[in-house]
Amino acid sequence: MENRVVITGLGVVAPNGIGLTEFTHAIKNGTSGVKFFPQLKELEFSCCIGGKPEVSEDLKREYLTELQLRGFNSSGILYGCMAGMDAWKDAGLSISESTDYDSGTVFGAGTSGIERFREAIYKVDEKQVRRLGSTVVAQTMASGVSAYLGGILGLGNQVTTNSSACTTGTEAILMGFERIKAGRAKRMIVGGTSDEGPYVWGGFDAMRVLTYKHNESPKTGSRPMSATASGFVPGSGAGALILESLESALERNATIYAEVLGGEVNSGGQRDGGSMTAPNSESVQRCIQKAVENSNIKASEIDAINGHLTATIKDFTEIENWSQALKLEGDDFPHINSLKSMIGHCLSASGAIESVASVLQIHNNFIFPNINCEDLNEEITSLISAEKIPQKLIDKKVNIVAKASFGFGDVNGCIIFKKFKL
């Protein structure tokens, strides 16, 4: 008998809010966390705006000790630890002095400690290898975030990091879901994190996929589903969820935010229109259809879709794929929103942060607005009703939300979340 899997804790470090209270207020009110960064202009970036969580030195010390922070220079690990620790606390769990063999983590990352890695390269080039310090490996290894988080919380089950470009956070949730469903863990911290700054964002600027038209108006720069969308805005942060077997959650009398019904991950194989940077539409549709099938629901039961929707020319293609996969269009199509309009594209953290937002919609019964799309793309509104792309907060009962992510390498992930009923 397979375990039911529920969500008992949430944590988020986002450009428009750190912690559930601040983040929930921001997404309900359409608050943008995108800002102008003089450093990017000095480095002659075309896109000089981005999303970055505001973490003070004092706030860091609420999570990590002076010893842990000494020589510490990894924004991605910091954000991941903060979000993971907040989710753990939110779930009502305590840090044990002994190893907790029932709990583990799958915490994704696209890169780790880019700034620290840069420092290491310079020291090696300057023949100062002995001055690298004792934390350079832990901060730059791909699994740095899960290793730090596992040590802080004493996790004794699977402790690992996955990496699948922009699908990373969504994939991590499904990996933890499958482990609990199979009875191999009672609870898993799942999520994703992303480093920030020029050494992460520079490659995208070079590809010319970032917007360069809003350096003077950063808060209006991220424009998913808009006719004037001109590229995505880079972001950073972390999102974390505590997944737990229903049996364990009920034993603890834990708060249950929602249930994970199921999902799917796949790849288009970079065939039939798919490439390193573009999705194979057939594969995207198969991923969505299998997620619905694996969750034992009907497409018509979906109340809202939290899309990938990055504010590029692929926005219409994504909407078209959702419509064809679900066989819904016009007024029958679910409400759809994109958190990227408020925080930019947080890369390997995007699926996790956006999943936290998806679950909050279910738990608190609202659909957050899309901002910066007052001029809706006419191709999109020829397929689905404009009313299905809310530009103001909608207060309503939300039972089922579908969340999907599509990443470089032609990889896809889709999860179905549902309001919990015993």
The domains of the chain are located at 1-422
> Which pLDDT value is given to residue 129?
77
Question: Tens digit of pLDDT per residue, the chain (422 long)?
Answer: 799 999 999 999 999 999 999 999 999 999 999 999 999 999 999 999 999 999 999 999 999 998 888 767 899 999 999 999 999 999 999 998 999 999 999 999 999 888 877 777 767 777 777 777 777 888 889 999 999 999 999 999 999 999 999 999 999 999 999 999 999 999 999 999 999 999 999 999 999 999 999 999 999 999 999 999 999 999 999 999 999 999 999 999 999 999 999 999 999 999 999 999 999 999 999 999 999 999 999 999 999 999 999 999 999 999 999 999 999 999 999 999 999 999 999 999 999 999 999 999 999 999 999 999 999 999 999 999 999 999 999 999 999 999 999 999 999 999 999 999 99
> Which pLDDT value is given to residue 140?
84
CA distance 145 to 103: 16
CA distance 303 to 223: 23
Pairing mode, strands 187-194 and 103-109: parallel
Which residue in 296, 309, 268, 204 sits closest to 412, CA to CA?
A: 268
CA distance 399 to 3: 21
- What is the pTM for the complete model shown? 0.97
The answer to whether residues 205 and 123 touch, using CB atoms and an 8 Å cutoff, is no
Instruction: Give the CATH number of domain 1-422.
Output: 3.40.47.10
> Which pLDDT value is given to residue 112?
87
CA 147 to chain centroid: 19
Neighbour tally for 121: CB within 10 Å: 10
Measured CA to CA in angstroms, residue 371 lies from 186, 273, 392 at distances of 39, 30, 8
> Which pLDDT value is given to residue 122?
65
Which sign, positive or negative, has the C-alpha torsion 320, 341, 43, 196? Answer: negative
The answer to whether residues 322 and 332 touch, using CB atoms and an 8 Å cutoff, is no
Measured CA to CA in angstroms, residue 268 lies from 160, 263, 411 at distances of 25, 17, 7
Which residue in 100, 119, 233, 210 sits closest to 159, CA to CA?
A: 100
CA distance 91 to 362: 17
